[in-house]
């Protein structure tokens, strides 16, 4: 921790626009992390002062991030705005999330969502700060266009608004009395999916492989395999992690199966204590997965979390989902009384989607115009383009069923949740699993 403060001070001390920008960014990250703690305390204590401290810290964090983004733009000689690679895009995304949420908190009577939204922004920032490509990079010729800048800017804001709609939809389902087993099922399913996505077949040999890193020219680098493609790196095993992840996978699957079994057999929710106990076991193992991974990264010179940032983010996301389910159960009475009525939550979700959807449309339109300029075609069905179309159609169905069929409540909340899964896939999953024309795919 001391090292971290020293690092921030050093960044400010260097005095160049780029280093001060990174100092602001790291401080904003810290500020949002502490804000998360206060928001979670507010969930538990319901003390307004505590909430305002959380709010204030998040607001300060946003202000510092704004400064960081402007300085970064300045450091690039105003040549291109700071949303060109995955690092900058994530920083901008986190900035959008906190800003959108703070406005929602001021304007609505949902005061407890900070405990869910701010940590997600922290995750985006954490992921950004783990990304090895932090330096301000010159733009490849194919990326130099005003349409690209608009494309990335709209994407970050739109995705942030979709995130807020996702949180409202989940809170709606909770307030509306969706059985606990559905939440534990989702958490268990995400753990199973997350572990399979990051470890793939190796997990069945109780092994978890990450790219081996080494120090060269004062920074961590991955070692390419000779004669391999640009994404082939020498792998190394994280000691012991595979076995723990396998255990988490098995307990996640048990949580999922027991929860699904209870869907029909336990409509009265008499077995809530049983299912939360099983879920808690899986959650504790997941906690140990994260802890063990960080411990091994700290102990071994050739293991770095930044060598596989998406994998770590996926595990962290699964862990966070587990934590949220535990909190939702443990403080059920207090939380439900703190939330506004279900209809209002449903409407907030709808409103955020109504703002996000036209922005998402602009993301696709500006992307097409840019593709036509750079590559002579406005649409080429590359995985990222196709995924963004899928996201667009899902939210179109949300609005369409609402407007012309009068759907509200649970059915539309499910569509909003599926839509957000698609957003996450479009934004990160395509890069994690597949490669396409999009430059971020190499990040």
Partner 1 sequence: MVKAQENKKKQGESWADVLAGNRLAVYTLIAIVIACLFGVFLPQRGPGLSEAQYQDLLNAEGAWGIAAKIGLLDVFHSLWFYGLILLLLINLTVCSIKRYQNFAKFDRTFPTEPGPELLNRMPYKLEFSATAIDDATVASVLSIKKKVGTSHSAYYYSETGRMGRYGVFAIHGAVLLLAIGVMIGNLFGIDGTINIPEGESYSTILLRKGGAYDLPFQVRCDKFTVEFYDSGQPKLFRSVLTFIPPYGNPVKADIEVNKPVAFGGYRFFQASYGQIPEKLTMRITRRADNKIFEPLSVFAQQSYKTPDGEAQFGVMQTDPDKANAGPAAMVVEEIPGSDETSFWIFKTHPEFDQSRNGKYFYELMDIGPGGYYTGIMVAADPGVWVVWTAFAVGFLGLILAFFVPHRRYVVRISGDQITLGGFSNRRGLESLEDRMLAIQEHLKAKEN
Residues 261, 284: Cα–Cα separation, whole Å: 22
Could you say whether residue 47 binds partner 1 (CB under 8 A)? no
Residues 392, 423: Cα–Cα separation, whole Å: 9
Instruction: Determine the interface stretch with partner 1 among 29-37, 238-246, 292-300, 352-360 (rule: CB under 8 A).
Output: 352-360
Helix (H) or strand (E) holding 92: helix 86-107
Could you say whether residue 200 binds partner 1 (CB under 8 A)? no
Rounded-to-10 torsion of CA 8, 13, 18, 21: 50
Could you say whether residue 357 binds partner 1 (CB under 8 A)? yes
Instruction: Determine the interface stretch with partner 1 among 181-189, 271-279, 330-338, 377-385 (rule: CB under 8 A).
Output: 377-385
Q: Which is nearer to partner 1, 24 or 172 (CB)?
A: 172
Instruction: Determine the interface stretch with partner 1 among 57-65, 164-172, 307-315, 345-353 (rule: CB under 8 A).
Output: 345-353
Could you say whether residue 399 binds partner 1 (CB under 8 A)? yes
Among 389, 417, 424, 439, binds partner 1 (CB under 8 A): 389
- Note whether 294 and 240 are within 8 A (CB): no
Question: Which of 287, 279, 319, 307 shows the shortest CA–CA distance to 194?
Answer: 319
- 40-47 contact pairs (CB < 8 A, 24+): 40/115, 40/327, 42/111, 42/112, 42/114, 42/115, 43/112, 43/115, 43/327, 43/331, 43/334, 43/335, 43/338, 44/331, 44/334, 46/334, 46/338
Residues 119, 122: Cα–Cα separation, whole Å: 5
Q: Which is nearer to partner 1, 13 or 358 (CB)?
A: 358
Could you say whether residue 225 binds partner 1 (CB under 8 A)? no
Helices (H) and strands (E) in the chain, counts: 15, 4
Residues 283, 274: Cα–Cα separation, whole Å: 14
Helix (H) or strand (E) holding 100: helix 86-107
Could you say whether residue 254 binds partner 1 (CB under 8 A)? no
Q: How far is the CB of 200 from partner 1 (least distance, A)?
A: 14
Q: Which is nearer to partner 1, 296 or 371 (CB)?
A: 371
Q: How far is the CB of 376 from partner 1 (least distance, A)?
A: 4
Q: How far is the CB of 89 from partner 1 (least distance, A)?
A: 19
Q: How far is the CB of 357 from partner 1 (least distance, A)?
A: 7
Q: Which is nearer to partner 1, 1 or 140 (CB)?
A: 140
Instruction: Determine the interface stretch with partner 1 among 32-40, 53-61, 95-103, 429-437 (rule: CB under 8 A).
Output: 429-437
Q: Which is nearer to partner 1, 108 or 386 (CB)?
A: 386
Among 378, 410, 424, 441, binds partner 1 (CB under 8 A): 378
CA distances from 44 to 48, 179, 247, 327, 328 (A): 11, 22, 31, 9, 11
Q: Which is nearer to partner 1, 12 or 378 (CB)?
A: 378
Q: How far is the CB of 38 from partner 1 (least distance, A)?
A: 31
DSSP state of 113: T
Integer-rounded Cα Rg, in Å, for the chain is 22
Contacting residues toward partner 1, per CB under 8 A: 137-138, 140-142, 144-145, 347, 350-351, 354, 357-358, 361-362, 365, 368-369, 372-383, 386-387, 389-390, 393-394, 396-397, 399-408, 430, 434, 436
């Amino acid at each position: 921790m001391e090292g971290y403060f020293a690092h921030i001070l050093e960044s400010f001390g260097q005095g160049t626009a780029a280093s001060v920008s990174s100092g602001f960014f790291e401080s904003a990250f810290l500020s949002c992390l502490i804000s998360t703690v206060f928001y979670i305390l507010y969930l538990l204590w319901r003390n307004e002062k505590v909430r305002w401290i959380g709010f204030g810290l998040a607001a300060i964090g946003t202000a510092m991030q704004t400064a960081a983004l402007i300085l970064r733009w300045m450091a690039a000689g105003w040549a291109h705005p700071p949303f060109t690679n995955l690092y900058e895009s994530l920083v901008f995304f986190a900035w959008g999330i906190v800003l959108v949420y703070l406005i929602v908190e001021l304007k609505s009577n949902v005061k407890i969502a900070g405990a869910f939204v701010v940590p997600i922004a922290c995750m985006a920032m954490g992921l950004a700060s783990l990304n090895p490509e932090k330096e301000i990079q010159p733009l490849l010729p194919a990326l130099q266009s005003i349409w690209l800048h608009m494309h990335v800017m709209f994407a970050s804001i739109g995705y942030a608004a979709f995130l807020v709609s996702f949180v409202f939809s989940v809170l709606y389902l909770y307030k509306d009395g969706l059985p606990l087993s559905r939440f534990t099922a989702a958490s268990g399913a995400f753990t199973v999916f997350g572990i399979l996505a990051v470890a793939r077949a190796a997990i069945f040999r109780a092994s978890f492989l990450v790219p081996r890193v080494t120090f060269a020219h004062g920074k961590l680098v991955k070692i390419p395999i000779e004669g391999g493609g640009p994404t082939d790196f020498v792998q190394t095993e994280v000691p012991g992690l595979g076995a723990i992840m396998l255990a988490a996978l098995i307990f996640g699957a048990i949580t999922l199966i027991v929860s699904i079994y209870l869907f029909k057999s336990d409509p009265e929710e008499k077995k809530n204590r049983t299912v939360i106990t099983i879920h808690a076991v899986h959650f504790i193992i997941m906690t140990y997965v994260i802890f063990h991974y960080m411990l091994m990264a700290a102990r071994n010179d050739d293991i770095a979390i930044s060598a596989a940032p998406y994998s770590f983010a996926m595990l962290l996301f699964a862990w966070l989902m587990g934590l949220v389910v535990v909190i939702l159960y443990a403080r059920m009475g207090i939380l439900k009384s703190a939330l506004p009525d279900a209809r209002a939550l449903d409407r907030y979700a709808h409103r955020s989607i109504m703002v996000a959807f036209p922005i998402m449309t602009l993301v696709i339109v500006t992307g097409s115009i840019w593709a036509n300029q750079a590559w002579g075609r406005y649409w080429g069905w590359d995985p990222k383009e196709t995924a963004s179309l899928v996201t667009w159609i899902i939210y179109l169905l949300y609005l369409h069923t609402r407007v012309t069929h009068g759907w509200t409540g649970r059915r539309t909340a499910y569509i909003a949740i599926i839509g957000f899964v698609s957003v996450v896939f479009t934004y990160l999953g395509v890069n994690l699993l597949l490669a396409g024309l999009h430059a971020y795919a190499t990040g």
